[in-house]
Homo-oligomer: A and B are copies of this chain.
Amino acid sequence: MVKALIFDVFGTIVDWRGSITREVRAIAEVKGFQINAGKFANEWRSGYQPAMDRVRKGHLPWLNIDALHRLILDELAKKYQLGQMSEEEMNTLNLAWHRLKPWPDSVRGLKILKKKYTISPLSNGNFSLLNNMAKHSDLPWDCIISAELFGHYKPDPETYLGAAKLLDLNPSQVMLCAAHKDDLLAAQACGLKTAFIKRPREFPPSVNLDLSFDKRFDFNADNVIDLANQLSIV
């Protein structure tokens, strides 16, 4: 019997693309430079997997996501010629990832699920990022579980198994809820239950992702409230 629901965050609970696009557009207006803010947001996010891989392969020491986001931002700043931004402005922009806005169903869905389950993020975002984001957007987590606690990034098994161990649960008592099938399959390989949450607006339409419901997962849901419905607790 499942006791805890752990959630991917970027894309599953919050809309990183819309949020980052808005923040980049806002600062561009203040600073008076022209920029394709949506493209910038996508490129910032695209740099994230390769940066984690550099950590995973030992080409970089352990760096948290704030530090990886800043590495990528510094490269993008050169490409987009953002040289006119101060260190303080760069730091504030980098922390835009702490202020990502939830999808419209996320907070209400989580509040329903919290009545019956322990709910926690299981995210590659660092602990302080996840805590600040929750404070900022009223995400009602019971606790914060970050990949940072294990010194491993998802989809390394240490993260899924580490979350179950911290909660003192068997892997089969924990369900990962995520919009990304690779994340779910990695959790499933560790013995966790899985719930796919469809997020068709996470990426721009030009990105061709597999958003189909999938029998390999224990649940397939249109959003977090739909998941609560399927778990019969609405």
Q: Is A19 an interface residue (CB 8 A)?
A: no
| Contacting residues, chain B, for A66 (C-beta < 8 A) | 168
Q: Is A96 an interface residue (CB 8 A)?
A: no
Question: How many copies of this kind of chain does the complex include?
Answer: 2
Do the beta carbons of A167 and B131 come within 8 Å of each other?
A: yes
Q: Is A16 an interface residue (CB 8 A)?
A: no
Do the beta carbons of B118 and A167 come within 8 Å of each other?
A: no
Contact with B along A85-121 (1 / 0, CB 8 A): 0000000000000000000000000000000001000
Segment 121-136 of A: residues with Cβ below 8 Å from B = 126-128, 130-131, 134-135
**Which among B141, B148, B169 is the interface contact of A143 at CB below 8 angstroms?**
B141
A6 to B: closest C-beta gap in Å: 12
Do the beta carbons of A118 and B143 come within 8 Å of each other?
A: no
Do the beta carbons of A134 and B142 come within 8 Å of each other?
A: yes
Told that A66-B168, A127-B168 touch, could you supply 19 new A-B pairs with CB distance under 8 A? Answer: A118-B131, A126-B168, A127-B166, A127-B167, A128-B166, A128-B168, A128-B169, A130-B143, A131-B142, A131-B143, A131-B167, A135-B142, A141-B142, A141-B143, A142-B144, A143-B143, A143-B144, A148-B166, A149-B149
